[in-house]
Structure 1
Amino acid sequence: MQLPLMRFDDEVEIVPARKLLAKVAAVLVAPSDQFATRPVEVLELGFDGVAGDFHAGATRRSGGREPWYPRGTEMRNERQVSIVAPDELAVIAAGMNLREIRPEWIGANLVIDGIPRLSMLPFGTLLFFRGGVTLKVDGQNAPCRLAGRSVAENAGMPDQEAGALLFPKVARRLRGLVAWVEKPGRIAAGEDVSVRIPEQWIYRP
């Protein structure tokens, strides 16, 4: 006798997939030996990421974000592109009592405007750029003291070590996203972006 197939999806809250539209406010590149980025007219992206950028490469070395590996272990580079939102940067700046935080101070490659709570976009979200590039979101970019120190120095904070420590606290879940290149090409400032958010659910075994 065949037992009935058991289904559990009706016991889980499932959020349907959806689409959003946004715009590229700025594109930036970091020299290969520097963390901070600088504005450019276009980004040239290959399967290794942004050409010549600090975070480019098919692989990278593990760090504090991957405590399950010995530090320096070679692993896939899912952090090829750093993405931030202007409204979230403004919230961080206010929390640090600063007039502004510029995207280049924290090594951003893309500033995308028009997506509410950009940092909360889920893993697997696809960003389709009008020029043909596709990026896949890996997850949130956890704020660190390296970025905090850059903010403190560029903003001229009197106590730069305190600023470096404050940034990770204030910027939690506001520091943007990291993504990798699914389809290479060029991205220009002012370009439209179609954001495709996948169906979401919370796994509770």
Structure 2
Amino acid sequence: MSLPLFAGEADELPQITRGRKIEGRVSTLLDARGDGFPSEKCQSLTVNFDGIEGDFHAGATRKSGGREPWYPRGTVIRNERQVSIVAEDELAFAARAMKIDRIEPGWIGANMVIEGIPMLTMLPPRTQLFFEGGVTLRVDGENNPCRFAGEEIARNFPDRDQTELALSFVTAAKRRRGIVAWVEKPGTITSGEAVTARIWEQWIYPAG
């Protein structure tokens, strides 16, 4: 079918969910200062429009990879993956599915652990995260789990089949791997500070 020119002309609009705000807190901060993505705990993160200062994923742009099959690998694109955010309860769920006792946020390159926001990974794109200290991050979307992060997890369980355990992360952490975000307003984020997630009005675009 053809869509109406204006939404008000439609006989029936899709279900619309009102926007809302959810309060949470930063429980842990981490950064990746080395040549790889695994991260280590820190007390604060200084962020600018390029992302976290000195972090492995910092930069206004990045090179495309397997997540962007519509571009030749290595194409320079906007870096919407400046900050990786996870939740402890979601990682615990994934760990149980993998039959291991834990997944440390630093093993998978997380920069931040947020508590108090249910189903963190399901926060929709465009959500804004307003931090008590003045920083604002804009959520791009889910951080899809990959075998490279799984390999880092597997290294911490040498008694397990490394390939099998690494690949199991892809399934176990689906929609529970956390989110990626980019810096909308720079500043410093401190461990323990409050954060407010502003979720915009949502709707499902109708099929044509």
What TM bracket, shorter-length normalisation?
over 0.9
Correspondences of 1:1-20 after superposition (within 5 Å): 7-8=9-10, 10-20=12-22
Q: 1:123 and 1:71 mapped to 2: Cα distance?
A: 24
Question: Which one-letter code corresponds to 1:18 in the other structure?
Answer: R
Distance 1:186 1:6, change over 3 A: closer
Q: What does residue 49 of structure 2 align with?
A: 47
Aligned length: 202
What does residue 139 of structure 2 align with?
137
Aligned residue in 1 for 2:90:
88
Tell me the CA shift for residue 33 of structure 1: 1.0
Identical columns (%): 56
Unaligned segments of structure 1, at least 5 residues: none
Residue identity opposite 2:174 in structure 1: R
Structure 1: 4+ residue segments shifted above 6 A: none
Aligned equivalent of 1:24: 26
CA RMSD of aligned residues (A): 1.5
Give 1:156 deviation, angstroms. 3.2
Does the CA-based 8 Å contact 2:132-2:193 persist in structure 1? Answer: yes
Provide the rounded CA distance (Å) in 2 between the counterparts of 1:66 and 1:121.
Answer: 21
Alignment of structure 1 residues 1-205 onto 2, 5 Å = 7-8=9-10, 10-204=12-206, 205=208
Tell me the secondary structure at the aligned position of residue 155 of structure 2: helix
Q: Which residue of 1 aligns with 2:3?
A: none
Q: Deviations over 1:20-66 (max 9, x none)?
A: 00000100000141110000010010100001111100000000010
Q: What 5-or-longer segments of structure 2 have no aligned partner?
A: 1-5
TM-score (norm 1): 0.95
- For residues 108 and 11 of structure 1, the distance between their equivalents in structure 2, rounded to whole angstroms, comes to 38
* 8 A contact 1:157–1:163 mirrored in 2: no
Deviation (angstroms), 1:183: 0.3
Amino acid at match of 2:51: G
- The letter of the residue matching 1:59 is T
